[in-house]
Amino acid sequence: MDDSDINQTNVIDSDESNFISLKLAAVNNKVRFSILEILRDNQKYGKNPLYSREINSILFNSYNINITPQMFGQHMKKLVDANLVEEIDVKKEVPNKIGKRTVKSFVLKEDAFDDLFLEISFLSDELFTFFDLYRSNQKFHDDDYCVLTIFNGVDKGKTFKIQKDESVLIGRAANFSEDDLPSVSILLDNSYDTISSISKPHLRLFYENDGWYIIDEDSLNGTFIGDIEVQKGEATKLKSNSFLKLSRGNGGAVIYCSFK
């Protein structure tokens, strides 16, 4: 790898990728998943926001989940920190109090699942598929590898371990096979039709000095970390738990990238 490749390093200053990882971790829990369902159903029927005692009561009566107020508070903090739930002040009548009191209540954020590629009326099976892909990626963690897992489309679930001494091209297969190409390549199915083919290298991934980098060398529709487009021709240093988008929307590929 020529040192000139990283003389000007572009760093994406965005917490989006970390938020996605936080969301997956936050929802992958029976109690928190149940809380999200409660809030979703409550908002679906246009009811007022729920405060902690109301949610805890529904957890016990409808889900047979009995937790202390302290434990409930810890679960809610994880959901709020993951940008899934919003805490708001609402005036309500509460037990053993006269008149309405201002209490901390909770609502499911309208954009809670936008960056997880799900509708707010998420289905359990679809969400748990994301958990499976996330866990599959994490189990391959090793100090010497960058692990890539494809999160959508025909190649969904494919996982690749990239060694530090490899420079890898990532793009649509077009009419090529790996034997036709000068370096290690990840060939995506041609159904990802908005991605440049390997004949015009969409993306190069490599390790240099202190971290993992990508360079979008010649793509038509761009490469994105979260929703931020990387600058073409410049090395961009990756953060672990990044979601790379090769093009956006239909015909693009979403690749989860992690490393130690």
Domain of residue 66, CATH code = 1.10.10.10
> What's the domain count of the chain?
2
Least confident of 13-22, 33-42, 158-167, 228-237: 13-22
Choosing from 96, 122, 148, the residue where a domain stops is 122
Name the strand (E) or helix (H) holding 212: strand 211-216
CA–CA gap between residue 165 and residue 234 (Å, rounded): 20
Q: Specify whether 75 is located in the same domain as 145.
A: no
DSSP-assigned states of every residue in 159-205:
EEEEETT--EEEEE-TT--GGGSSSEEEEE-TT-TTSPBTTS--EEE
**Tokens representing residue 28 in the block:** 């992958």
- Its pTM stands at 0.61
208 versus 174: the higher-pLDDT residue is 208
208-215 mean pLDDT: 91
Q: Specify whether 90 is located in the same domain as 178.
A: no
In a domain, 12, yes or no: no
Whether the predicted pLDDT of 180 surpasses 80: no
Q: Specify whether 94 is located in the same domain as 169.
A: no
Q: Specify whether 60 is located in the same domain as 28.
A: yes
Whether the predicted pLDDT of 30 surpasses 50: yes
Instruction: Using DSSP, state whether 34 is helix, strand or coil.
Output: helix
204-224 mean pLDDT: 91
Choosing from 87, 122, 157, the residue where a domain stops is 122
101 versus 65: the higher-pLDDT residue is 65
Q: Specify whether 72 is located in the same domain as 183.
A: no
In a domain, 222, yes or no: yes
202 versus 176: the higher-pLDDT residue is 202
Whether the predicted pLDDT of 88 surpasses 80: yes
CA–CA gap between residue 258 and residue 134 (Å, rounded): 10
129 versus 167: the higher-pLDDT residue is 167
Cα 146 to the chain's mean position, in Å?
Answer: 17
Q: Specify whether 140 is located in the same domain as 249.
A: yes
CA atoms within 13 A on the CB side of 165: 0
In a domain, 96, yes or no: yes
Q: Specify whether 74 is located in the same domain as 172.
A: no
Q: Which residue type occupies 133?
A: L
pLDDT, the chain, mean: 81
Range of the domain at 42: 22-122
* CATH number, position 221: 2.60.200.20
133-155 mean pLDDT: 80
- The reported pLDDT for the residue numbered 152 is 86
**Tokens representing residue 94 in the block:** 């509460």
Choosing from 83, 100, 122, the residue where a domain stops is 122
31 phi and psi, to 5 degrees?
-65, -50
In a domain, 14, yes or no: no
Q: Specify whether 115 is located in the same domain as 161.
A: no
User: For a pLDDT cut of 70, what percent of the chain falls above it?
Assistant: 78
10-26 mean pLDDT: 65
